[in-house]
């Protein structure tokens, strides 16, 4: 409002010099004009009542008063809007967790997995079986028995209690079981190499003629593969590996193949929802339980996985060579000691809660992949990460765009208003402008009424209107009663 007082002063000078008395304010209008320019809310309200309420009793309102009132209203509205926008911004600003990532030039961690040096040395040696073939490095084959190498770590991994390795399952089109680190740091993202296993199974009970012929017999005979038996009178867990995809001949040990093929005929006890269905591949023997036959293939991959924020987000891989396929299939192969039978049977019990025979086959396929990976963990060793980046969690303020931009625009408008008024004041005619502007204040009017000795002197600032500015003392202001009975201000002699 101080800046707006300059054009008001200029207009009063111009109209006074031109003798346009009707365009000049009355004393009461000057009072309100000075109060509005000083930013007084009470004076503004009085001016509003004067302009719109003194009908018939007031002379014409000068434009300066109108414009001063409008300018103050605009300033008040902008101030209120800025305050509301600022409150809106603070209310909607939230503290959130922000993740900052930074690349690491050389990876510091070894979270990948590969064949251990002990395993690789097995294939570099000249020790072979009678057929000139190496046994898989996951097995120690003696004349009378077959032992699992790395037994402790293998069983810990399969049962998810290892502090070194863990089997993670991911789905990217197909489902894969991966051997990963048991406790990777939570503050890094990385990529690493490992092995991944994927198994696909098809339910073929109907094709194999699986039927509860008698109380003591539930036979099956698969016409397209070399697989037959009876899950009631024969073994109720009949796992058979084949040496080719045609499944014409059973595989022995060592089996060097990738992918490798196998079939399973099983009878498990218990009652399951699918028993009441009419699925042709599911049979309920006379004495209860659930019988099924599945044909499957398992593939081992040399894989690279990408882990971001604790989740595997990408998996790339190529099929491993046949030797690696034999390393993973060896422990599960019935000729290799049939390790993992308990875990696989438990997996079939869980899979049996599926809604269809294919659901059962798919669920068991995933269990088979997990068990296969777990029993190979004993011959694995860490591999350096291929890529790595650090992840830091920070607390930051989330600032919504709408209140922020609103606050910025309103502040710019307020600043623009001040700039426009400053430019106008800068280019106004200078003669007497500063003097009149200084007197369009409460202080100016006080000096006009009480500093008679300085009346009419030019002033560049308000302080110059008073005798005290010169440092020569000053009169004192008193009140005295007039002959009319009222009271008035009066000045004493200079002290």
Handedness of CA 81, 82, 88, 91 (dihedral sign): negative
Domain coverage including residue 30: 5-92+399-440
Q: For position 423, what pLDDT does the model report? A: 82
Instruction: Assess whether 35 and 82 both reside in one domain.
Output: yes
Predicted confidence at residue 10, as pLDDT, reads 78
Least confident stretch, 60-64, 115-119, 343-347, 448-452? 448-452
Q: Is the pLDDT of residue 454 over 90?
A: no
**Pair (134, 239) in one structural domain:** yes
Asked, for residue 461, whether it belongs to a domain, the answer is no
Q: What is the dihedral of CA 472, 476, 477, 481, to 10 degrees?
A: -140
Whether 482 is covered by a domain: the verdict is no
Residue 408 pLDDT greater than 90, yes or no: yes
Residue 182: exposed, middle, or buried by beta-carbon count in 10 A (0-12, 13-18, 19+)?
A: middle
Shared-domain flag, residues 14 and 117: no
- Give the pLDDT band of residue 460 (cuts 50, 70, 90): low
480 belongs to a structural domain: no
Q: State how far the Cα of 221 lies from the Cα of 229, in Å rounded to an integer.
A: 7
Whether 462 maps to a domain, the answer reads no
Angle at 281 between CA 276 and CA 285, to 5 degrees: 60
pLDDT at 372: 96
Specify whether 423 is located in the same domain as 336.
no
Q: What is the pLDDT of residue 43?
A: 75
What's the structural domain count of the chain? 2
Q: What's the pLDDT score for residue 30?
A: 76
Mean of pLDDT over the chain: 85
Q: Which residue has the higher pLDDT, 463 or 149?
A: 149
Distance in angstroms (rounded) separating the CA atoms of residues 231 and 189: 49
End of a domain among 356, 391, 426?
Answer: 391
The Cα 441–Cα 446 span in angstroms is 9
pLDDT at 240 over 60: yes
- Please give the angle made by the CA atoms of 247, 250 and 251, to the nearest 5 degrees: 105
The pLDDT tens digits for 123-133 are 877 555 555 56
Of 357, 391, 425, the domain-final residue: 391
Same domain, residue pair 57 and 137: no
The sign one gets for the Cα dihedral 4, 5, 6, 10 is: positive
Q: Is residue 341 included in any domain, yes or no? A: yes
- Domain shared by 73 and 109, yes or no: no
Percentage of residues of the chain with pLDDT beyond 70: 92
Q: Which two tokens stand for residue 81?
A: 């809007």
User: Which range has the top average pLDDT, 30-34, 184-188, 370-374, 483-487?
Assistant: 370-374
Q: Is residue 361 within 8 Å of residue 201, measured between CB atoms? A: yes
Contact 300, 376 (CB under 8 A): no
Q: Enter the DSSP assignment of 1.
A: -
189 Cβ contact partners less than 8 Å away, ≥ 6 residues apart? 101, 306, 307, 308, 309, 388, 389, 391
Least confident window among 118-122, 156-160, 165-169: 118-122
Place of tokens 């009542």: 49
* pLDDT of 275 strictly over 90: no
pLDDT per residue over 323-362, tens digit each?
A: 999 999 989 988 777 888 999 999 999 999 999 999 999 9
Task: Looking at the structure, tell me whether residues 264 and 174 fall in a common domain.
Answer: yes
pLDDT tens-place string over residues 160-181: 999 999 999 999 999 999 999 9
Are residue 298 and residue 404 in the same domain, yes or no?
no
Residue 472 lies in a domain: no
pLDDT band (50, 70, 90) for residue 53 = confident
Looking at the fold, whether 122 and 257 belong to one and the same domain comes out as yes
Same domain, 228 and 272: yes
pLDDT value of position 244 = 86
Same domain, 256 and 160: yes
Please indicate, yes or no, if residue 326 is contained in any of the structural domains. yes
First to last CA, the chain: 36
192 and 279, same domain (yes or no): yes
Which whole number is the average pLDDT over 243-255?
78
What is the distance between the alpha carbons of residues 49 and 33, in angstroms, rounded to a whole number? 14
- Domain annotation covers residue 473: no
Q: Which of 128-137, 305-314, 438-447, 486-495 has the highest mean pLDDT?
A: 305-314
pLDDT band at 273 (very low <50, low <70, confident <90, very high): confident
């Amino acid at each position: 409002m101080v800046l707006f007082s300059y054009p008001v002063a200029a207009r009063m000078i111009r109209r006074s010099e031109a003798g346009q008395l009707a365009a000049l304010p009355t004393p009461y209008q000057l009072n309100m004009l000075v109060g509005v320019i000083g930013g007084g809310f009470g004076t503004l309200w009085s001016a509003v009542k004067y302009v719109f309420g003194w009908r018939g009793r007031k002379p014409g309102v000068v434009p300066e008063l109108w414009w001063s009132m409008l300018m103050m209203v605009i300033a008040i509205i902008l101030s209120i809007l800025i305050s509301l926008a600022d409150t809106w911004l603070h209310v909607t600003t939230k503290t959130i967790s922000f993740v900052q990532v930074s690349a690491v030039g050389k990876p510091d961690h070894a979270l990948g997995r590969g064949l251990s040096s002990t395993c690789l040395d097995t294939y570099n040696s000249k020790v072979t079986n009678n057929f000139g073939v190496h046994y898989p490095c996951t097995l120690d084959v003696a004349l009378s028995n077959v032992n699992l190498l790395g037994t402790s770590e293998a069983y810990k991994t399969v049962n998810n209690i290892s502090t070194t390795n863990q089997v993670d399952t991911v789905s990217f089109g197909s489902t894969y079981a991966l051997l990963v680190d048991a406790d990777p740091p939570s503050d890094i993202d990385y990529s690493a190499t490992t092995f991944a296993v994927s198994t696909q199974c098809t339910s073929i009970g109907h094709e194999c003629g699986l039927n509860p012929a008698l109380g003591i017999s539930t036979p099956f005979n698969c016409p397209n593969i070399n697989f037959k038996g009876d899950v009631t009178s024969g073994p109720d867990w009949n796992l058979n590996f084949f040496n080719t995809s045609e499944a014409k001949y059973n595989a022995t040990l060592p089996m060097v193949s990738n992918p490798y093929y196998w079939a399973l005929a099983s009878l498990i006890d218990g009652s399951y929802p699918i028993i009441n269905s009419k699925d042709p591949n599911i049979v309920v023997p006379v004495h209860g339980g659930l019988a099924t036959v599945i044909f499957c293939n398992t593939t081992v991959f040399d894989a690279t996985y990408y882990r971001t924020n604790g989740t595997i987000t990408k998996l790339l891989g190529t099929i491993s060579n046949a030797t690696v396929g034999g390393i993973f299939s060896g422990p599960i192969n019935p000729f290799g000691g049939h390790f993992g039978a308990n875990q696989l049977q438990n997996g079939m019990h869980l899979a049996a809660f599926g809604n269809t025979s294919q659901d059962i086959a798919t669920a068991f396929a995933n269990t088979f992949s997990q068990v296969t990976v777990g029993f190979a963990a004993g011959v694995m060793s860490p591999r350096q990460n291929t890529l790595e980046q650090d992840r830091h969690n920070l607390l930051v303020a989330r600032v919504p765009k709408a209140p922020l931009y609103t606050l910025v625009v309103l502040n710019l408008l307020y600043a623009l208003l001040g700039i426009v008024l400053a430019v106008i004041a800068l280019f106004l005619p200078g003669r007497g402008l500063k003097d009149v502007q200084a007197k369009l204040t409460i202080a100016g009017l006080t000096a006009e009424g009480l500093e008679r000795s300085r009346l009419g002197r030019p002033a560049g600032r308000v302080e110059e209107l008073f005798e005290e500015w010169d440092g020569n003392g000053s009169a004192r202001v008193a009140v005295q009663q007039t002959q009319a009975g009222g009271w008035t201000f009066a000045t004493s002699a200079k002290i």
